[in-house]
Amino acid sequence: MALPEAIFKLLKPRRKASGIELTREAMANIPRHVAVIMDGNGRWARKRGLPRRSGHSAGAENLHEFCQWCIEFGISYTTVFAFSTENWQRPQQEVDSLMKLFVEFFARYEEELAAEGVRLRFCGEIAELPQSVQETMRKAETSSLQRNTLQLVIAFNYGGRREIVKATRELLTDCQAGELEPEELTEEHISARLYLPDVPDPDLIIRPSGELRLSNFLLWQSAYSEFWFAKVLWPDFSRHHFIAAINDYASRQRRYGGLSKEERGEK
């Protein structure tokens, strides 16, 4: 089993109640869509003298908990970065273990995700993935279509630049077919050709692990997202960190290049 009991024991100590809760302001300003770059699994494992794949198992376990916090806080969408178009550069053994873990995650959590009402969606270059992964995605997607508590989008073999290239290619084809004139092209045309056009842009993007970069995640969609970075490694990212991120998000003024709500005289 890819998620051994030993991993649960390692994760347990940080599950203690932290005391920090959502502020009143945060409760009134829950982000609709939170995206997470689930980074730091390898360092988490190394610190414990474990193989990298154990870090990925611990990260997967934490993803399930994270979904429960999203539901608790009333978040509608979460997109999580699980495998990038650049991650193929990792050693074959690690890539294989990540593919295997993906399939095992659903075998382990499908029932719980169903009971929790989580709808599963995927974005990325799906056709390039092993058949077992594609099959798991198809099943998870079709069996969860009617669920409506939380939409969990897993970005797998995803790259923001690749997504923009895909959209551009489709729009060029439309132009060649005479269905679109280049001067008619708008931002909406590009948004409509992304992997999941109906999913709103992320309000908040969280990156644990101490890295201060996007690493090719949601490049188009993040134009006006708020960012929250922390040194904590993803398997150690807890409800307490999540609350801190949401409280921080709620205290910011979003302006989109114009005026804030307050400045416009709105509450």
C-alpha separations of 251 from 7, 22, 26, 226, 246 in Å: 35, 11, 8, 11, 9
What proportions of the chain, in percent to the nearest 5, are helix, strand and coil?
Answer: 50, 15, 40
- In the shown chain, the binding pattern of residues 29 to 58 toward Mg ion, with x for contact by CB under 5 A and - for none, equals ----------x-------------------
262-265 long-range Cβ contacts below 8 angstroms, 24+ apart: none
Of 56 and 119, nearer to ligand IPE (C-beta) is 56
State the DSSP string of 228-248: EE-SS-GGG--HHHHHHHHHH
Shortest CB 209 distance to ligand IPE, Å: 6
Shortest CB 243 distance to ligand IPE, Å: 22
**H or E element in which residue 16 lies:** none
The two tokens of residue 155 are: 């970005």
- In the shown chain, the binding pattern of residues 192 to 231 toward ligand IPE, with x for contact by CB under 6 A and - for none, equals -----------------x-x-x-x----------------
Query: Is 29 tagged catalytic?
Result: no
Is residue 124 close enough to count as binding ligand IPE by CB under 6 A? no
Query: Is 203 tagged catalytic?
Result: no
Shortest CB 89 distance to Mg ion, Å: 12
How far apart CA 56 and CA 142 sit, in angstroms, is: 26
Which of Mg ion, ligand IPE, none interacts with 37 (beta carbon under 5 to 8 A by kind)?
ligand IPE
Which residue in the list 29, 41, 62, 87 is annotated as catalytic? 87
Place of tokens 């608790």: 72
> Given the rule CB under 6 A, which residues bind ligand IPE?
37-43, 81-84, 87, 98, 209, 211, 213, 215
Residues with a catalytic annotation lie at 39, 87
